[in-house]
């Protein structure tokens, strides 16, 4: 369970990682719309 404590120590790094993960998830969820909008 030391993994969770370790992650809470670096809050800035944790926030940046969370932001990156959210961005990737948003891209993944929006890729169908993006593919439809993009001229093939």
Break the chain into its structural domains and give their ranges: 2-37
Encode pLDDT of 14-30 as tens digits: 788 888 888 889 888 88
Residues 8 and 14 sit within 8 Å (Cβ to Cβ)? yes
Neighbours of 14 (CB within 10 A): 13
Distance CA 39, CA 19 (A): 29
Percent of the chain with pLDDT over 70: 75
Under 8 Å CB-to-CB from 8, ≥6 apart: which residues?
14
Residue with tokens 């369970």, as numbered in its chain: 1
């Amino acid at each position: 369970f030391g993994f969770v404590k370790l992650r809470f120590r670096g809050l800035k790094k944790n926030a940046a990682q969370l932001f990156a993960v959210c961005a990737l998830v948003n891209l993944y969820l929006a890729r169908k719309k993006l593919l439809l909008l993009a001229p093939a």
